[in-house]
Every structure is written in structure tokens, then in C-alpha cells.
Amino acid sequence: MIDPYWQVVDLDPVTWRQIGRFFDPGQYLRTAQSGEHGLFVLHEQGNVLRIVDSKTGVRCDIILKTINDPQASARQLYATGEWQRVHIIDKRHLNQVAHSAQASPRRELTLDQYYHEVYQLLWGEPDGYVSIPPHPGHWHGWRYQEIKELLADLSSTPISLALGVLEHERWSIGLILVCDQGLIRKVTTFEALDSSNIPTELSEQALTHFWQQIGQICAPPAGLLLCSSEVFEAWINQEEKIQILLAAREQGQAYWRWESANPIPNKE
Amino acid sequence: MTVQLTEMGLSIDGQEIPVYSGAVHYWRLERHLWPLILDRVQELGFGVIETYIPWSVHEIAPGSYDWGEQDTRKDVEAFMRLCEERGLWLLVRPGPLINAELTDFGFPEWVLLDPAVQAHTATGSLHLDAAWGLHPPHQFPVPSYASKKFYHYVEQWFASVCPLIARHLAPNGCVVAVQSDNETCYLFHDRAYATDYSQDSLALYRTFLQKRYGSLEQLNTLYHSDYTAFEEVEPPRDCQVSGRTDMAWHVDWISYKEYQIRWSVVVIARLLRAYGIEGVPIFHDVAFQFRTPLDIAALEREPDIDWVGMNLYRNTGGYRGAIQTIRYLAGTTRLPFVPEFGCGIWSHHSQTPTPDEQEFITLLTFMHGLKALSFYMLVERERWQGCPITRHGAFRPDYAAFYKRLLFFARQYQVWSMRRSPSALVLLNFDLGRYTALASTLHLAHSDLYGFPGELFQVDLDLGLRWDVAREADDRRHDNWSGTVLGILGTRQMDYDLADTHIDLERLSRYPLVFVPTVDFMDREDLARLLTYAERGGQLVIGPGLPYLDPALCPSDVATERITHQGQTQLGTGSVWWVSQDSLPAIVDTLAQQPEYTCDDSQVSLLTQKNADHTLLFLANPTAQQRAVQVRFAGQRHLKRVWGEACTCIGEQAVNLDIEPYTVQIWEVLA
């Protein structure tokens, strides 16, 4: 997805501050959630090395010397109800993940493919890293493989995808991606567009305006979504994405155009 | 040297210039816009700019260079001539590493893909840059900074770029300083057992051991080993300490990692000199690390390195770190310098700063003694946003206004010549930093991504020590000995500097009072230097422990033969005070000079700076609430606000002021 030589230019600082939270690749890999009360048991081939509670620190009071069945131990600890998640981690597994991921220069992989490989290595060995509850296999309903395939299908020739999020009559996000051959070649913002007469409303007219502008300045658009910040948050964070957009369109809180035989992500 | 480093900036043929600079990346800007953009830079008030000269951009195939012949944006000499026409001075950074959010960090791909260049991790794999932190857009194998082949390639690059720079050296040209490499530190994977276990690195490690011990017998004695050649010594690949006898082996590896960085920066600096960079200072920028594997005091003592700074990217929430950085630079380096001072941010950063945040953090650092800086970036470019000037040469008004005001203000008050009067120096114990580094684990690629709590990376060592070393070594704690010292100085609004136990005696002697957290062990030379400081009239406060061992945990009587009890021990014309944590408030009150100005709100910071003509009073409110404070002093004061809305106030013993959230106020004391 990510072109190793992508161009990232003309970034409106307001947009960039808004989307900064998506740049932590760890959030797409890990099960540990920020603020979550977790228990982490590090062992090496069954010998427990350290037990750490994310709130209280090292837990010497938990008598657990060996791990014979990591899944069972995790379930047992989780069943106590003390933690929102229990992690039982074999140090040798982490070692193997690191070693395998870096076995060669990996130049043939794009960065997202590389991190996806790390994800597969981390969760591919059932007893290497045991998490209860387990990794859901997606991020708020977004699935890497689906997005990657959609992008590849869409962009046999250069196309644009764009998103506008309106908040307090201002575009808090105005993001444009130019994609080609399944790769994101260029990332820019509404700042790259003609600044005169940029509409600051959610409407069909605004949709048409941006569609034309993006087509003239970037590449022929294949998809454009304009929505309110509330709709955007729901669309990002909830799994029933198309239902959220359909309901929002009924209320004039979302407008989109999708020029593809393929359905939009999460299937209409 | 034609260009000399001074305490206030650079002296060019005797003319003192402050280093208030900003980054402009010529090759990323349209060539026809260069004149306009440089004019914009000068309109903001800048007299110095900075640029990288990126290796991979210019060496387009092995041995084939484009200096503007194919792509006019790469004509760096034309850029330099434009600077010279305008009287702009220039700092240049030719790498070899530059980062700059370039694909492959500015290294040519064929260099990175040469197996003889590649670093290796403790697991034996390659070390990819993606191992630690996010560095889009493409992963690459990190070079070993011990690789002979790497320096062979670097030398070829320098043979091309250095003569070109040399033609523009000051005073006839614009170039006033050159940087040796960039943030040299294992590409951010700086943990002790992460890397570099390549063959050339292991050879350098063994050379380091040979220099350190002289003979194999000495090493064997300390290691309790029976090696027959230095070539047999293998480094630790994780924390493998099971008892005291393992400590020397681990400490030596940690020390080697520090040495490798210094050695690399020096080798690169010597190459720069060898290829014609003469008469101007060579400097280096540290990314952010205060502790091992960075040893800033030792790096600045290297004869080939004139000047070391530390980069700073902080948002409002990171204000404490910003203050700590500047206090550390003030206490440690020749000229407190931030070679990359966040101005805007890289495009994969999670929080693009607002104009208000940039103002707050910048003023906060000036308040705490920053003397030189280069705003990175002054002009936007690909993969960077939030600067005062866009890549099209337009001002970004929300951001530009502050920098214009700042430069005007700095010139008006000659801020670079202002001095603080710190009443104390607080040292970080370098050996405690090394202990933290060695007593840790999971230095594996991607372990930063998994959301593990910090304690999972720590290893508890049972070494039979008297004091809680892990507790005292944790410089994030507020409840240990050094945290208590810093807390007391802060609440009493006493100004202080920071440094570490590797600074030299001359620098120690600038302070009447020095605090050092000490435990069971400490380097003999560092300890002896501190005692000499006391002998020569200094007041040295140590605690909670009294070192009776060296870092290898071998007996050491450097301290114990002269200090036998808690409390005061007179040494020469000064004293050593060995005190417990509980006794610190009383000791501070006894020994520290009371500040001339105080504030009744301990959440608000207050500092003064003076030069020959002005006294400035800085007040910072690092909270989200407006604060009404009373500033107290002896006698009557007439204050004039010189940053922000102009106003004056006169008070007897005190004045009352309101401070907005996350702002710095600057007042001139008129009388």
C-alpha cells in the first residue's frame, strides 16, 4: 500500500493533528489497550521470569513459577476478574518474531506489508503470545487484507480517494490520497486545492465541488466521503461501517460518491 | 580556527553572531523559489540557516553524482551562493546519516544492501530500522557504524561533497559549521543488547577491551574467565547477570556501546577534516538521550568534536522534558545548543504542534538558558508540516508571526548574552544509568509496539547491595533521592543546572553546590573528581549511599577512606555532606542560596536572566488553568512586560500577576 517513495506534501496542520492518532503502528498489532488493566506474564519455555500488573507493577504475590499450558493459565487468571486482559508471553517467541522479521532486508515488502508480517509472526504461533481476550483479528472492523485488495482493485490507473470531516464549520480533516497500482503514491490535504470558494458545509454541492477540484489537481477521484466529526468517529470505531454511513446520509451528516464496481469497505 | 565557538554563539573573524538558525532543504524546494524563500527567511529575522546535504540524493549511482547537472534543485553551490549574496550564514550536515524523513534516511540503497555494511542484532539477524519506532516509508537494513566497508563508502561520498563545502567556508563563504553524522545511536534502537553484534563491531569491542585492560590476565581476573586471546571474548546478548562476578562483563559491553558512538563520530569528523573542512567548528547532534549509550561530556571532550547539542521535539505535554534537556545542556556543554528544535513536525508524528504550543515550548527553553538553536524546519517540505513558511514560499501566518516576534525580541534584548545564576548543579549518576541499561531485557525488534508495561523490560538483580539501586537509578521517580532533590529545588524556585558524573572538574567548579545520587558503587575516577571538587571549596551533597565498590562491584575505598559517617565531612576548603533522603530539605535550606525572586505558586516557574543592560524575569505557567500569582522580592521593583501585551507594574515587596494557561511571560526589571 505504501509506496516506498511516496510524496507527502502540502499538509494542513489542522488535518495532520487530527489524524496523528492513526500513525502508531502498534495499535494495529497489539492486544494491550491504552488504559486497560492488564496482567503480563513473561516466561521462557515455561519458566516464569516476571509478572507485571499494568496498574500496580511487579506482582510478587502471584505464585506462578511455571507455565505448562499458557492458554489454560491465561484463562484461569482472567477468570479471577481482576484484569481486563491477561497476556502470557514466551520470551523465546518474541525473540523468534524479531529474528524472523529481520532475517533479510525485506526490501520486497512495503512498510505496511512488513508490519503485517510482524503481526502474523506474533499471533501465528498459538502458544507464543497468549492473550485472553484474544486479538480480534481486525482493528475496529478494518481488515488489512480487505483494504489492500480494495486498493489494488481500484487503482489500476492513478485515482484519488478523499475524506473531508467537518467540525464547527471547518474542515478538521481534509485528506487526499493518490493511488496507483495498489500503492499510495501521494498524500496531501485540501490545502493542495484551490483555496478560493472551498465550501464549508455538508451537501451534494460540496461533494461536487471537491470531486471536480480533486480531479483537476490530483487524479480522477474514485471515492470521496464528506461527513461530520461524529459520523467519522463512529465510522472509524464501530464495526458496522456502512450502516453508520447510510444512517448519517439520511440525516444530512454524510455524503459520498464511490466510482467503482467494488462496494465500499465493509460491504453495502 | 576562523570560526570560533563562544559561550554565546559563533565568532566569525572576531564578529560575534548568535546561532538562531532554521532548516531549509534546498533539494526539496523548487529551484526558482529559492530566492523568494530565502528572502522570507530573512524577513522573519534569521541570519543563519541550516541544511543537510543528502548522500543518496546526490550520489545517484555508485560513483555518479548529480550536483545540479541533471536536477537543478540539487545545485547546492548555487544555493550557497544565494546565501552568500544575502549575507546568510549556513550550517551544513553532510551525513552520512541524515534521516530527514528520506526513504532510507539518506543512505544510498547499494550501501545498505552490502552485507559487509549491515549491523546485526543479538539474535544474529539483520537490524532493520523498523525494529524500533516508526520510520516510514520503507524498512532498510541499518549499517554498522563499526563496518570498515561502510567508512570506505563514506570516504568516497566525502571526497565528492567536502571540496564543494570547502569552497564556501567562512569567512569568505557562508558555511560556519559542519556536523559530523546525525543522531549517531544505532538508529534509535539504543538498548544495550539490541545491536550491534556484526563482525566488525565485535572486533572493535575486543579492541576496546584490549585498550581498557592492557593484558588478558587483567580481564580474566576481573571476569573470572580463562580466555587465551581477546578474540575469544563474546559480549552479553541479554542480561545474563547471575552474580557480582558477571558485572564487569556487562558494564564493559555497555561502555563499549558508548565508545562505539564516540569513535564513529570522531572517525567521521576526521574524514571531514581530511577532505578539506578546516577553520570551522565540527559539531554533533544527539537525538534525545542523556544517558548511556550517549556520553555527551566525553563526546565533547574529544579533540575532533568542537561542540555537541541535543535535539528537542516537545509538545506542551512534554514541557518537563524540554526543561530537563536545556538544564542538562547548560550544565554539560560549551554552548547550550539544540541543533534541531521542533518547528512543525514530521508527517508520521502523532501530534502536530499548534502555534501556541510552539511559542510556549520555545520561550520555556529560552527561559532555562538555551543559547543556540536551529528551528527544524523553518520551511516546509515533503513529509513535514506546521512551519512558518510553506514550500511555495508563502508565510503560514499563524506560525510565522511568533518567529518574527521572537527574533525581534532576541535582538532587542540580546538574549544570547543573558546569563542565569544557578545556585546548584544536580548530577545524574552515569553508573546508575549503566546499571539500568544492563539490568534490562527484551531488547528485541518491535517490542516497543506491543504495549508492554515498562517493568516487563526490567530485570531484578540479587547482588547483595545495601541500597535500592534500581529505585535510585530510576530518574522518572519523584520519590527517590535525586527526585527529592529536584522536587525541593523546584518548589523553592531555586535555579539549577543538570549534568552527569562524567563532567570535568573545571565545570564542576562553576557551582557552589553539587548534588549527586550515590549508592553502593561508583566509578573511582568520577568519585575522586567529585572529592577534589569538595577539597577545592565546593559543597558536595551525596546520598543515600556511600560508594564502597566500583561499577564492577570490586572494593573501592576512594570514598570510604575519607568519609566515615553521615552528615558533614570537611575536605580541604569544602565539604562532603552524606545525607539521607529525609535530610535533604534541611540541607538545601542550609546550603543553597535563596533566589532573589520567588512566586507563591509552586506550579508556576520563575527564573531571571541578566546581561550588562537588562534583567529579565521569566514566569511560566505549565498548567491548563489561568493562575493568579504573587511574585515576591526585597524592596521595590518596577516591571515592564516585554513579551505579550505591553504593560508595567510597580510593587513593594511583591507584585500580583495573572498568567494564562501554557504561557510564558517575560518582564524586564527596570529598577
What tens digit of pLDDT does each residue of B545-599 get? 999 999 999 999 999 999 999 999 999 999 999 999 999 999 999 999 999 999 9
Comparing C-alpha atoms, which of A20, A64, A83, A54 is closest to residue B450?
A54
C-beta atoms of B350 and A5 within 8 A: no
User: What percent of chain B has pLDDT above 70?
Assistant: 100
Tell whether A139 is within 8 A of chain B (Cβ).
no
Between B382, B453, B455, which is nearest A7 by CB? B382
Closest by CA position to A262, among listed A166, A152, A184, A174: A152
The residue in chain B having the minimum alpha-carbon distance to the alpha carbon of residue A121 is B446
Is B391 within 8 Å of A106 when comparing Cβ atoms? Answer: no
B135: closest chain A residue by CA:
A111
Is residue B70 predicted with pLDDT exceeding 50? Answer: yes
Residues of A in contact with B113 (CB under 8 A): 105, 107
Which residue of chain A has the CA closest to B112? Answer: A105
Contacts of A12 in chain B (CB under 8 A): 385
Cβ-based contacts of A58 with chain B (< 8 Å):
455, 460
Measured between beta carbons, the chain A residues lying within 8 angstroms of B315 are none
Residue A265 pLDDT > 60, yes or no?
no
pLDDT tens digits for range B508-549: 999 999 999 999 999 999 999 999 999 999 999 999 999 999
Q: State the cell numbers at B340.
A: 534541531
pLDDT higher than 80, residue B452: yes
Nearest to B137 among A3, A103, A105 (CB): A3
- Which ranges of B87-179 would DSSP assign to H, the alpha helix? 109-112, 148-166
B139–A97 C-beta distance less than 8 A: no
A268 pLDDT exceeds 70?
Answer: no
In a mutational test of the B interface, the residue from A3, A11, A58, A114 whose CB has the highest number of chain B CBs within 10 Å is A11
Is B351 within 8 Å of A9 when comparing Cβ atoms? no
B218, pLDDT greater than 70: yes
Task: Count CB neighbours of A194 within 10 A.
Answer: 11
Pick the residue of B381, B385, B448 with the most A CBs within 10 A to test the interface with A by mutation: B385
Q: Which residues pair with A38 in a beta bridge?
A: A85
Q: Do B352 and A16 touch (CB under 8 A)?
A: yes
pLDDT (tens digit, 9 = 90+) per residue, B455-510?
Answer: 999 999 999 999 999 999 998 899 999 999 999 999 999 999 999 999 999 999 99
- Whether omega before B171 lies within 30 degrees of 0, making that bond cis, reads yes
Output the CA–CA distances (angstroms, integers) from residue B32 to B57, B73, B391, in the order listed.
19, 9, 12
At B252, is the secondary structure helix, strand, or coil? helix
**And the C-alpha cell for A119?**
503481526
Which residue of B348, B381, B456 is in closest CB contact with A50? B456
Q: In one letter, which amino acid is B163?
A: P
Partner residue facing A102 (CB), from B112, B128, B391? B128
Find the closest chain B residue to A91 by CA distance: B442
Nearest C-alpha neighbor of B430 from the set B559, B558, B290, B299: B290
pLDDT of residue A264: 55
pLDDT given at position B317: 93
Q: Do A98 and B448 touch (CB under 8 A)?
A: no
Cross-chain Cβ contact A105/B138 below 8 Å: no
Non-local (6+) Cβ contacts of B21 within 8 A are: B46, B48, B49, B50, B89, B91, B372, B373, B374, B375
**Interface TM-score (ipTM) > 0.85:** yes
> Does pLDDT of A262 surpass 80?
no
For range A171-186, the mean pLDDT: 97
CA distance A55 to chain B (A): 9
Helix axes B247-274, B430-438, angle to 10 degrees: 110
Cβ separation of A103 and B126 shorter than 8 Å? yes
- For residue A267, what pLDDT is reported? 42
Bridge partners, residue A87, by sequence: A40, A131
Residues on chain A touching B142 (C-beta within 8 angstroms): none
Residues B445, A101: C-beta atoms closer than 8 Å? yes
User: In chain B, which residues have their Cβ closer than 8 Å to the Cβ of A39?
Assistant: none
Q: For testing the chain B interface, which of A1, A2, A5, A9 should be mutated: the one with the most B CBs within 10 Å?
A: A9
- Contact of B206 with B199, CB cutoff 8 Å: no
Query: How far is the alpha carbon of A58 from chain B, nearest alpha carbon, in Å?
Result: 7
Distance from CA of B588 to the nearest CA of A (A): 32
Tell me the sheet residues that pair with B116: none
Closest to B161 in 3D by CA, of B305, B264, B65 = B65
Q: Which of residues 169-228 of A touch B (CB under 8 A)?
A: 187
What residues in B contact A54, CB-CB < 8 Å?
453
One-letter-per-residue 3-state SS of B57-108: HHEEECCEECCCCCCHHHCHHHHHHHHHHHCCEEEEECCCCCCCCCHHHHCC
Q: Do B444 and A94 touch (CB under 8 A)?
A: yes
Interface of A with B in 9-38 (CB under 8 A): 9-13, 16-17, 20-21, 23-26, 29-34, 38
Count of CB atoms situated within 10 Å of the CB of B645: 6
Inter-chain CB proximity A94 and B134 less than 8 Å:
no
Taking 60 as the threshold, does the pLDDT of residue A51 lie above it? Answer: yes
CB contact under 8 A, B141 and A6: no
Q: Which residues of chain A are within 8 Å of residue B441 when distances are taken between CB atoms?
A: 49, 91
Cell readout for B623 is 498548567
Q: What is the mean pLDDT of residues B52-80?
A: 98
- Report the residue of chain B nearest A90, measured CA to CA: B442
**SS3 state of residue B490:** helix
B104-150 pLDDT, tens digit per residue, is: 999 999 999 999 999 999 999 999 999 999 999 999 999 999 999 99
Contacts of B141 in chain A (CB under 8 A): 105
| Confidence check: pLDDT of B408 > 90 | yes
**β-bridge partners, B440:** B458
Question: CB A32 to CB B380 under 8 A?
Answer: no
